[in-house]
Structure 1
Amino acid sequence: MIAGHKALLRSPRNCPQTSSRWIQAQARLEIFRWLTYYNARRRHSALSYLSPMEFEQHHRRTAKLSLAA
């Protein structure tokens, strides 16, 4: 949920002024969710079909191993 927008996430069907704010807050939330998935969790072919988070974890593990050797 977007911080500070708890009141806007209630369904305001009877109030046209609040309705556009509610729609805007919902749109921002959906965009944030999609960007989080796309940038952090989606598998990328350039990263050997790992998600960026998995790739970074793998890279850190191998870097620690090479430093220890």
Structure 2
Amino acid sequence: METLQTDGDHYSVILIVVAAVLGAAAAAVVVEVVATELVVLVVVVVVVVVVVVVVVVVVVVVVVVEEAVV
């Protein structure tokens, strides 16, 4: 059970890092492409919200799967 928990934590951390990197990359590309500050702000906020939602969903799924396995 300890091993499963550790593996789950590892996967959660990896997924969070990947999501954060992808979100940052997307935001950087948008900032480079779009010149209007308001549009950039809105897009960055949307990207951050999407990344946070994805991370939360992934963590919830990992926890539910671990509970089901245990």
Q: What's the TM-score bracket when you normalise by the shorter of the two chains?
A: 0.3 to 0.5
TM-score, normalised to structure 2, is 0.46
TM-score, normalised to structure 1, is 0.47
Larger Rg: 1
More helix by share: 2
